[in-house]
Chains A and B, each alone.
Chain A
C-alpha cells in the first residue's frame, strides 16, 4: 500500500511500495499522459514534478513519493487554461508524434520555475529528454518564448 498526492488529490494505491511511480500513475491510477520510454531514467518521457522538481518517475518508487506533491501533465493546466510552456509549444508547433512531449513539457516547466530566463547553456544542461522525432530546435525556441512570454 502507498498513499500519494497526485495533482492535489490523495490516492491510496494497493501496490508494492517498490513499484516505480510511473507504473502506479499509468496502470493503477489510469493517467496515461506520463509515458514509458526506457525504464532507466535515460529518456525523460516519464518526467513529473515531485514537490516542484522534475523527476523521472520510472526511477522513483511510489514509496519514496509518499507525502510529496506530485504533478503530472494532466495537472499542469488545472483550470483548462494551458500552462505558458504548453501555450508556447502550441504557438511554435513543437510536437510531432508527441510521445515524449509530456515529459519534455514537465521538464521545461520545472526548469522555468527555477530559472525563469535560462541561457542556451542552461537549457542544454537541464533538458536532456530524448525526442526521437527530433523536435529539439522548436523545443529550444519555445523555451525562450515561454520564458519571456
Chain B
C-alpha cells in the first residue's frame, strides 16, 4: 500500500516535548500492515467508498480552523474524479497509523505544512484509487481499462456508453492490486483544486455539533481541574487538602511533581475544591526572574562577542567605511501566549499498562508518544483519539504538555478523567512566542541605498530548548528566519548573527513563529532606511530587490498589494499607509495598511494582503486564513504582552491579556496570486507583515518610529 501513502516502512521517530520542555525520541517497533476492516470497502488507506457512492477521505492532519479537513480531501478528490457532494472526511487514529506502518505518514500539523507536505501522496492516493475503480469496472465488462473514463464517481465505457458508479465497483476495486505508477494531472486540468469550496465542517460548526477535546464524554468519566506550579520549572512542596476532600462531588486530590489536581463529578466542583487547597510551591531558581531582569540579560546579547552567524556576505566593516550615513536602532518584542479559545485539555483512561486518550492535538503521534513515555508503557498499548481543535496556532503541536498530567491523574483515579485547564492555567503555562531584540545598523551610500547592514539578534531560542539537536555551533537558523537566504533585499555587505539568551520561560511555536518578530524588525528598519534616504518606502523596496532568486515573486506581491491599495492615490483625511514584505513557509506576502491616529489611539481601517503561495487549493479557506492571520498579528501588535514577575506570568485571562474584538476589525482585502509551480503555506505567513505595515503607517502619520511592541505601551491604544 506504499504507493498510495507514499511512505515506506521505516523507523518511526517522533520528537515530543514532555512537560518541562524536554525533547525525547522514541523508537517504535512496527507491526505488519493490518487488514482493513471498516464499514466500507477501503480502496486504499485514504479512501473508503460505500455502495451508495459516499466517499470517505481520511485526513491525517488536524483541523484547527485552517481548513485542512476540506482542502486535503480536495487534493484526493481531484485525482479520484469523485462526486464532491458525496465526500466526507474523517481522522484516522494515530495508533492505527503505527499499526499500519505509518501508512498515513506524518500527523504533525504545523509550519503551514498541511497541504505542502501532503499534496503529492494525497493526489497519488486519489489517482491510484481511480485506476483501481476503472480496472474493476473494466474487468466486470470484460473490456480494456484504457477504453474507460471516470468522472463524478461514474465510470463510462466509452465505446459502448455503459456506465457504473464507484459504489457498485468499490468492493471489487478494493481487492485489486494498486497500480505501480500513476500519472498525476497537469495543473491546467484541475477542476477542483483552485476552486473556492465550502468547508465540509461548516454546517456542524454553526450548530455546536463538533466534538472538541473539551467536549469528550466517556462512560464513567470524572472531571479534573489542575493547578501547576506558577513558577516555570518549579515543583510542588506541599498541599493541605483538608477543606477540599469533604466538598460535594470531590473524589480525589492528586499530587504530581509540579502540579495538583482535584477530581470531581463535574469540573466546577473540581475547580472550587482546587481553590480550597492550600498549596506551597518550590519555585526554585526561576522564582527570582522578572521581565526587567530578562531585558537586561537580552541587552547583553546585543553586544556579546559570541553570536552564531546565520548569513554573512561581503564585509560589513568595508561597507560601513564606504557609507556616507549610518543609522542605528534597537527593536524588541515580548513573550506572547497562544490563547487558543479552547483551553488546553486532555481526557485519559489508564488501565494497567494500557491507555486511551482523547486530545485536541496538532500531532496525534506526539500525543501518543507522550502518553507512552509518561506512563512507561509500550507505544502499542496507547490508543489516541484526535478531536476537533478549538484553535491551535502552534500551541498543540511539538508541545504536548496537556497529555502527561492527564494520564498521570487518570492512572491515580482508575477511571476516565477529563482534565481541563482553567483559562488562567492556560495563559500562565504556555510555550510562549519568544522574547527577542534586534540591534540594527546600516550604512547608506550617497544614493541612499545600503552599503552595509548588520542585524544582531538576541532572545530566547525555541530550537535550542525544545529540539537542541537542531542547533549546531550556536547557530539557531530558525530564530533568524527572514534575515537569511529569505531576506529579499540586495545588501552588498551583510551580517545577520544571533546571540542565544535562554530564560526559564518555556518558548514554542506561535503562529508564524520567529517571523512574527523578525518581519517587524526587518520591515520597520527598511522603512527607516527609506526615510533616511528620503525615498518613498515602496519605491525604496523596489530598488532594493534586485538579484534575489525570488525577486520576481517578491516584486509580484509588493506591486500587487500597492496597486490594490492604491499606494499613490490620495487617502481620506488623516489616514496614512504603511507597507511590509516577507517570505515565510515558502509563501510571498506583502501588506499595505491604512491607519489613522486620533486622540492617542491608532486604528487600522483597511489592510491589503497580497499572497503568492505558488498553488492555492481552496481559495475560500486561504482567504479566511488571511483574515485570521491579520487578526492574530494585529492583536499582538496592539495588546500582546506576557510579562514575568517572581518567575511567573503576570497575566491571567482575557481581562489582562486582551484580544481584538469585532469593533476593531479592519477591512481585510486578500489578493491571492498563485504564480504556479510551487506549494507554499497559507495559515501563517500573513501574520508577520501586519505589525510592520501598521507601525510604518504610524510613522507616516505621526513621525514616531515604533521600535517595540505592543502599542498599548506607547499610549496608542484606548484603555
Point out residues on A near B: beta carbons under 8 Å: 15-16, 19-20, 23, 26-28, 30, 32-40, 42-43, 45, 72-74, 76-77, 82, 86, 89-90, 93-102, 105, 123-125, 127-140
Q: Contact between B206 and A27 (Cβ–Cβ < 8 Å)?
A: no
Specify which of A23, A102, A136 is in contact with B665 (CB 8 Å cutoff).
A136
Q: Contact between B627 and A138 (Cβ–Cβ < 8 Å)?
A: yes
Q: Which of B211-219, B492-500, B538-546, B557-565 lies at the binding interface?
A: B211-219
Smallest beta-carbon distance A146→chain B, Å: 11
Q: Contact between B655 and A40 (Cβ–Cβ < 8 Å)?
A: yes
- A27-B268, A43-B341 known; A128 vs B662 contact (CB < 8 Å): yes
The A-contacting residues of B in range 177-227, CB under 8 angstroms, are: 198-199, 201-212, 214-215, 217, 223
- A97-B64, A131-B341, A140-B662 known; A42 vs B654 contact (CB < 8 Å): yes
User: CB of B632 within 8 A of chain A?
Assistant: yes
* Separation of A128 and B655 alpha carbons in the complex (Å): 13
Task: Show 19 A/B contacts (Cβ-Cβ < 8 Å), sorted by A.
Answer: A32-B208, A34-B208, A35-B214, A35-B342, A39-B653, A40-B654, A73-B208, A93-B202, A95-B201, A98-B210, A99-B391, A101-B205, A102-B208, A123-B662, A132-B391, A133-B65, A133-B341, A133-B628, A136-B631
Smallest beta-carbon distance B193→chain A, Å: 18
Q: Contact between B667 and A33 (Cβ–Cβ < 8 Å)?
A: no
* Separation of A15 and B635 alpha carbons in the complex (Å): 38
Interface size on B, residues (CB 8 A): 64
Q: Which residues of B contact A33 (CB under 8 A)?
A: 207-209
New contact pairs (9) apart from A42-B653, A99-B212, CB-CB < 8 Å: A23-B266, A34-B208, A35-B214, A40-B655, A96-B65, A99-B342, A128-B661, A132-B632, A134-B660
Smallest beta-carbon distance A137→chain B, Å: 5
Point out residues on B near A: beta carbons under 8 Å: 63-67, 198-199, 201-212, 214-215, 217, 223, 248, 265-269, 339-343, 388-393, 420, 422-423, 620, 624-625, 627-632, 635, 653-655, 659-663, 665, 667-668
* Separation of A137 and B662 alpha carbons in the complex (Å): 8
Q: Contact between B208 and A97 (Cβ–Cβ < 8 Å)?
A: no
Specify which of A23, A96, A123, A125 is in contact with B628 (CB 8 Å cutoff).
A96
Q: Which residues of B contact A89 (CB under 8 A)?
A: 202, 206
Q: Contact between A40 and B653 (Cβ–Cβ < 8 Å)?
A: yes
Q: Which residues of B contact A32 (CB under 8 A)?
A: 208, 211-212, 214-215, 217
* Separation of A72 and B208 alpha carbons in the complex (Å): 9
Specify which of B207, B215, B267, B659 is in contact with A86 (CB 8 Å cutoff).
B207
Q: Which residues of A contact B392 (CB under 8 A)?
A: 97
Tell me the nearest residue of chain B to A99, going by C-beta: B390
Q: Which residues of B contact A86 (CB under 8 A)?
A: 206-207
Smallest beta-carbon distance A102→chain B, Å: 4
Q: Contact between A97 and B266 (Cβ–Cβ < 8 Å)?
A: no
Most chain A CB within 10 A, of B202, B342, B662, is at B662
Q: Contact between B423 and A38 (Cβ–Cβ < 8 Å)?
A: yes
Top 9 nearest A-B pairs (CB, nearest first) are A33-B208, A134-B631, A99-B390, A97-B65, A98-B205, A96-B65, A32-B215, A73-B208, A27-B266
